[in-house]
Chain A
Amino acid sequence: MAYPKSGANSKSAATRPRTKRKGRSVFSRFAWLIWTLVTSGSVAGWMISDIPVVGPVVEDFVASGSVKDVESLTSVVSQSPALASLTSELLHRLADSAAPSKAGAAAAPTSGARLQKPPDTIRIGSYNIQVFGTGKLGKPAVVDVLVQLVRHCDIVAIQEIRSKDDTVLPQFVAAVNADGSRYDFAIGPRLGRTVSTEQYAFVYDTDRIELDRSSVGTIVDTNDLLHREPFVARFRARVGQVGTPFSFWLINIHTDPDEVASEIDVLADVFQVMQTARPDEDDVILLGDLNASDQQLGRLGQVPGITCVVTGITTNTRRTKMYDNLLFQRFATTEFTGRWGVVDVQAVFGLTLEQALEVSDHLPIWAEFRAYESPPVSNTARRPDRSWQ
């Protein structure tokens, strides 16, 4: 079993909730679920930098950070009739659309200027960008919506990158960074049982988030229980002003819609395995397109203390189904502030349903966490984390 180098511990075993001590036996029971480092060149986003944005129209469009130039807008619209009504004003109406009661509004992005993000919290998102490939990149107005959605999160777990072209994500991240942002990415291998494959990715703001590069990996599933094995990585906030920066595992998943129940059950094992992956990490957040509602979580929903962030609201663009979610153990990940949302892309950008569907058939979801470690329910002292140094 190839675990990443653990480095110095930041959270002693004593800080971890008692239930997590069961993890070792769980790990033994599910020894088929191990994870390994993924080392191919296509995986490390930092290895492919400075990829140009697609075409001059897009470059101008994105570089401006807005649609000030009528001619550029016309060019964009002519390439994407379904988004013809997209205007500069609408592009900048991105605010957090509401999950009832808990979600709050965020500042709308400003034209040509980077977003001002809160210093003491981070926002983690998940987004199934349906068939994210060269075709979608070739639609500048769609790219601009996606760019603005990503900029509102500090990390986004992306599902459904489908392309033989390895430059899709580098090009997209370059577009995100066109306003001076410094996002980077980690992308997983192509996964699937046929020639039709998908990739997962994490896109994150390096000004606010650190990736533990030795942690990036794909769950190894020797018995082929999962169609698209989860992509995992460990991150740490770098914006906290108080205390130890919040660090956490992310497990990125897109289940097979025909085997949801069995795969969700297996994800319970994945979750518990990742809890034991490092003795110094008690925060595990599973996020992605589960193809299941908060009421259909099987054994995953029975993991002690497991909490669904998204409840009582649909997450597909048609607003008929709940597919996407973020889950963690509430007594461990006490950094969750209680704020979360499902971005209603259609409403926020003033799109028709057809236009919104051109962006994706899913909506992005997000949750907010404190940027520094909060004590777990079993409150004990923590040791400083030196593994990032």
Chain B
Amino acid sequence: MSDVTVLAQQLREGQVAQRQRAAEQLAQSGEDASVAAVELVQAAGDEEQVREWAVAALEQLGPPPTAAIRQLCGLTAHENELVGYWAVTLLGRLGPAAVTAVSALTDTLQHSPHQAVRQRAAWALGQVGDGSAPVIAALTRAAGAEDPRLARLATQALAQLQ
């Protein structure tokens, strides 16, 4: 197993201190940490000392492997706001390669209880660039939202789809 794979396993199965250390080392791995994208997204819902390093790793790992799309889609509706936020963010980073995630992203945009997650879903849909009718309809509704950031991001996404 590669170092990153080992760290991903520690992040899944280790005790808190081990999970923290694994997250920290992944945060120092730059884009190499993308192999552990799913584990890092899940760790965003962990205890603070693990979470903060996981978030640091997520901020800089770039797009995740496409093989992670299915699992990330499953995390977009996670009850933990930060887990959903990062699942959506990583899908958005994949751009058109995440076309199979459009349904999950659209659902997240419409139904997530978390404002920051809905906002990121609007952004992600613009990045993916799938202009199918359900996406357009969801973004159009979001563009009329009272939340100025959601409305702006949805409007920008619609422009990207045209």
Binding site for B on A (CB under 8 A): 130-131, 133-135, 160, 162-164, 193-196, 222-225, 257-259, 318, 320, 354, 357-358, 361
Q: How far in angstroms is the closest Cβ of chain A from B127?
A: 9
Determine whether the beta carbon of B28 is less than 8 Å from that of A196.
no
Docked Cα-Cα span, A183 to B55, in Å, equals 30
Q: Which one of B20, B85, B119, B148 lies within 8 Å of A135 (CB-CB)?
A: B20
Given that A194-B85, A195-B82 are contacting pairs, would A133 and B28 also be in contact in the complex, using a CB cutoff of 8 Å?
A: no
Q: Which one of A164, A194, A259 lies within 8 Å of B116 (CB-CB)?
A: A194
Given that A258-B89, A258-B93, A354-B28 are contacting pairs, would A196 and B119 also be in contact in the complex, using a CB cutoff of 8 Å?
A: no
Docked Cα-Cα span, A194 to B116, in Å, equals 7
Q: How many A-B residue pairs have CB under 8 A?
A: 58
Determine whether the beta carbon of B60 is less than 8 Å from that of A193.
no
Docked Cα-Cα span, A1 to B152, in Å, equals 24
Q: Which one of B24, B30, B92, B149 lies within 8 Å of A318 (CB-CB)?
A: B30
Determine whether the beta carbon of A257 is less than 8 Å from that of B28.
no
Docked Cα-Cα span, A155 to B9, in Å, equals 42
Q: How far in angstroms is the closest Cβ of chain A from B29?
A: 9
Determine whether the beta carbon of A258 is less than 8 Å from that of B119.
no
Q: For residue A196, which residues in chain B have a CB less than 8 angstroms away from its CB?
A: 44, 51-52, 55, 82
Q: For residue B44, which residues in chain A have a CB less than 8 angstroms away from its CB?
A: 196
Is B56 in the interface zone, CB < 8 Å from A? Answer: yes
13 additional contacts (CB under 8 A) given A193-B115, A196-B52: A131-B27, A135-B53, A162-B56, A163-B52, A194-B116, A223-B148, A223-B149, A224-B148, A224-B149, A257-B59, A257-B60, A258-B123, A361-B27
Q: How far in angstroms is the closest Cβ of chain A from B123?
A: 7
Q: For residue B85, which residues in chain A have a CB less than 8 angstroms away from its CB?
A: 193-194
Closest A residue, CB atoms, query B53: A131
Docked Cα-Cα span, A258 to B30, in Å, equals 15
Q: For residue B51, which residues in chain A have a CB less than 8 angstroms away from its CB?
A: 196
Determine whether the beta carbon of B82 is less than 8 Å from that of A133.
no
Can you list 15 A-B contacts with CB-CB less than 8 angstroms, sorted by A residue number? Answer: A130-B27, A131-B53, A133-B49, A133-B52, A134-B49, A163-B52, A193-B116, A195-B81, A195-B82, A196-B55, A222-B148, A223-B149, A224-B149, A257-B60, A258-B123
Is B79 in the interface zone, CB < 8 Å from A? Answer: no
| Secondary structure of the A contact surface, majority rule | loop
Closest A residue, CB atoms, query B20: A135
Closest A residue, CB atoms, query B89: A258
Docked Cα-Cα span, A258 to B95, in Å, equals 12
Q: How far in angstroms is the closest Cβ of chain B from A165?
A: 10
Interface size class of B (residues with CB under 8 A): 20 to 34
Q: For residue A195, which residues in chain B have a CB less than 8 angstroms away from its CB?
A: 81-82
Q: For residue B81, which residues in chain A have a CB less than 8 angstroms away from its CB?
A: 194-195
Q: Binary interface profile of B, 10-36, with partner A (CB < 8 Å = 1, else 0)? A: 000000000010001001101000000
Determine whether the beta carbon of A223 is less than 8 Å from that of B152.
yes
Q: Binary interface profile of B, 86-122, with partner A (CB < 8 Å = 1, else 0)? A: 0001001100000000000000000000011001000
Sorted from nearest, which 3 A-B pairs have the closest CB atoms? A357-B28, A224-B149, A193-B116
Q: How far in angstroms is the closest Cβ of chain B from A306?
A: 25
Docked Cα-Cα span, A14 to B118, in Å, equals 49
Q: Which one of A194, A320, A361 lies within 8 Å of B28 (CB-CB)?
A: A361
Q: For residue B152, which residues in chain A have a CB less than 8 angstroms away from its CB?
A: 223
Docked Cα-Cα span, A11 to B119, in Å, equals 44
Closest B residue, CB atoms, query A357: B28
Determine whether the beta carbon of B82 is less than 8 Å from that of A361.
no
Q: For residue A133, which residues in chain B have a CB less than 8 angstroms away from its CB?
A: 49, 52
Q: How far in angstroms is the closest Cβ of chain A from B44?
A: 7
Docked Cα-Cα span, A239 to B41, in Å, equals 49
Closest B residue, CB atoms, query A164: B48
Closest B residue, CB atoms, query A262: B156
Q: Binary interface profile of B, 126-144, with partner A (CB < 8 Å = 1, else 0)? A: 0000000000000000000
Q: How far in angstroms is the closest Cβ of chain A from B17?
A: 10
Closest B residue, CB atoms, query A162: B52
